[in-house]
A and B are shown apart, each in its own frame.
Chain A
Amino acid sequence: MRYASAVVALARKDLLLELRAKETVPAMLLFVLAALTVFHFAVPTGTSQTAALGLLWVAIIFTALLGLTRAFVPEREQGLLDALLLAPCDRSAIWLAKAFSVFAFLVIAELLALPAFSLFFAGVGWATVAAALLADIGISAVGTLVGAMAVAGRARELLLPLLFLPLAIPIVVGGVGASSGTHGHYLAFLVLYDAVFCLLSWAAFEYVVSET
């Protein structure tokens, strides 16, 4: 109960901060729209559906990366991670709340990205929508963990993509596969990825943010 209450309070704080500052979500929306527009003009007419879906997943991953670079900015700039780490709640509550807010921002970005993709390339089916939601869970879980790792480092702007992109490769494989091929297998693959990385990230967060 106390854990849930801490997660709700922290997630509410992150959503409230974004509502006030309006820094992350507008940037993600503009980026994903700009990326899909560039892809639309960059690829030749008649490009295969699979290739186009690949571009959608590239846009989603890099939009997520943009959101993740902003995820710990309030805590980093104002030293607030110290105050959160001193709180007696389980430290994984910080990860869970932050992952939830990243997930919410990604879903909002995809509410624009998927219709824009349909407009520029081809319509998306239910499997693509399901794959995007499953991918968002994995991206949020892994991204929040590596975001916390990067925030402690000096070269954080370099560290985050270097850590995140290799871990996101299975998400792209699963996403493209679910969108274009045998839905069931790839959706199950994404579920498995989410389960493994949610568990690992939840368990590892304490060690990532603790020096003591």
Chain B
Amino acid sequence: MLGRRFSRRVISATNLGKRFGAKRIFDRLELRLGRGDFLLVTGPNGSGKTTLLRVLAGLDAPSRGELSLPDRATIGYLGHEPLVYRELTPLENLRLFASLYAIGEREQRIGVLLERFDLWRVRDERVSTFSRGMRQRLGLCRVVLHDPKLLILDEPFNALDEAGATLLDATLGEFAASSAIVVATHDPERVEALATTRMALR
């Protein structure tokens, strides 16, 4: 059984399993995460980290077990791709997602995030002209735009330079108190101090 805080529960998984055909990705997983919990998922390539995160985000269905997740409106998910439109600008991307999440005072919120992730200066440039690291920063802006209570990040430090990684450290530190966070990474030392629960997949 993983996870400590049962009050203010965000994720509850019982006997959770996922298979692709005959291949078992993970099985009999028990997990309870509440606000303030930080689950660090590690494991080699192909161990099922991404699949687990997609299941916990509600994007893939588990093959067995019970899974209780919060409302979609409160989940922030960053996959291997930053999930932003390359032919749109950062402002256009964030305005689109702000509309979908019905965020109030959206221009102010978007401005604050773009400033914070050092993208304000390129707010009107197409994302296709950005480096991978800049796209990742924009992906992080999208993820935290609606102030999620469940943050699921798959290799979030990928492509980030040291300044970007430091910004992400600070953001995770801020969300750690009020949200449940699930991070899969090959660089566990980076978030070891924040982790309250660890899961090693094989």
Stretch at the interface among A86-94, A110-118, A132-140, A178-186: A86-94
Please name the residue on chain B nearest to A19 by beta carbon: B87
The distance in angstroms between the C-alpha atoms of A211 and B57, with both chains bound, is 12
Does more than half of chain A's interface fall in helix, strand or loop, or is it mixed? helix
Stretch among A47-55, A75-83, A188-196 lining the B interface: A75-83
Query: A154 an interface residue at 8 Å Cβ cutoff?
Result: no
Task: Answer yes or no: A199 CB below 8 A from chain B CBs.
Answer: no
| A-contact 0/1 string along B88-108, CB 8 Å cutoff | 100010011101111000000
Interface size class of B (residues with CB under 8 A): 20 to 34
Which residues of A have CB within 8 Å of B88?
Answer: 13, 16-17, 20
B101–A211 touching, CB < 8 Å: no
**Whole-angstrom distance from the CB of A28 to the nearest CB of chain B?**
18
Contact of A79 among B81, B95, B97, B126 (CB under 8 A): B81
Would A9 and B57 count as touching, CB distance under 8 A?
no
Can you name the residue of chain B whose Cβ is closest to the Cβ of A87?
A: B100
Chain B residues near A20 (CB-CB < 8 A) = 87-88, 126
Nearest residue in B to A20 (C-beta to C-beta)? Answer: B87
Contact of A171 with B by CB under 8 A: no
Report 7 cross-chain contacts, Cβ distance below 8 Å, ordered by A residue: A9-B95, A16-B88, A20-B87, A20-B88, A74-B87, A86-B57, A89-B102
B contacts, CB < 8 Å to A? 57-61, 71-73, 75, 77, 79-81, 83-88, 92, 95-97, 99-102, 126, 142
Instruction: Enumerate the 8 nearest inter-chain pairs by beta-carbon distance, A residue then B residue, closest first.
Output: A88-B73, A9-B99, A87-B100, A83-B83, A20-B87, A212-B61, A79-B81, A88-B72
